[in-house]
Amino acid sequence: MISIDRHCYELSYCIQSLISGCELLPEYHDSEWGRVYDWLYLASSVSVVYADPSRHDGYLYCEPVQELMNRESKAYSSFVKDLSVFNFVWSSFENISKALSKYTSSKVRKCQSNALKGIGFINKYSELVEGIPYYNECLNDLVFLLKEKSRYFLNDYSEYKGDISHFSMGIWYVKEIRNSFAHGSSGIPTVIDCDDGRKADEYSNVILLSTRLVLMTIQLMASSYLKIDDGCLFLWGVHNECSDDDHILNKLMKVHLSFNDPIQDVLFYERGD
């Protein structure tokens, strides 16, 4: 799969095309659809985030301590960057959930949680489109990590046993992770974790897998919407000699795949057997 930042950018382009093709432009500014695009585009633009835990200390440290502080800064910077991108992508998901809630039942529309509105839409319409490639693999890897390391991210891991669509499962788990960060109950990486490469990777992979699943869910929801409305729209800026790949629906289903090698740079957790 392509990188997370590129995934955000390519998906924002598809959303821009959808807004134009479905004549949502009059309500673009300060609307749910406009914010779906805006948050994805912002997420794609994040390049470097620098966190310096010692910036307010005002002390000179000996070399071993300074090395420790540098490693801690590296761990925090990576964590904050990944978490920032995740939060921007989550904001995009909340807005597409609000935008599409009118296609759900009155009970779902009354939900205070935008995530539950999104789940309600997916439960009703996910059968309209084929599955997103690699969704199952990413979901399985996230569930595996949560089972093994839930104390870092959730108060307690538990499998959802309700009657929801398979394609809602990713958002249900990610919602729990997002809430743990939003309410301050999750752990954050320490310099000790940074020295333990496996622990550092576990922190990173949970956030990256969560981000990837939210992006895939946005793809699924936008694709389902096109099936409800009009699945023959073309990508923005494409006018003449359109191929099947220029259909927004076709692009949405595989926007996260590498052009040359569909499995290149795929983000799956390497499980130790």
Task: Round to whole Å and give the CA distance between 73 and 78.
Answer: 9
pTM of the model: 0.82
The answer to whether residue 268 is domain-embedded is no
Q: 247 has which bridge partners?
A: 234
The answer to whether residue 266 is domain-embedded is no
Confidence check: pLDDT of 263 > 60: no
Q: Which residue has the higher pLDDT, 27 or 222?
A: 222
Say how many domains are in the chain: 1
The answer to whether residue 259 is domain-embedded is no
Ranked by mean pLDDT, the top range of 40-54, 165-179, 206-220, 242-256 is: 206-220
The answer to whether residue 273 is domain-embedded is no
The answer to whether residue 245 is domain-embedded is yes
Task: Round to whole Å and give the CA distance between 81 and 85.
Answer: 6
Quote the percentage of the chain above a pLDDT of 90: 21
Domain that holds residue 35: 4-254
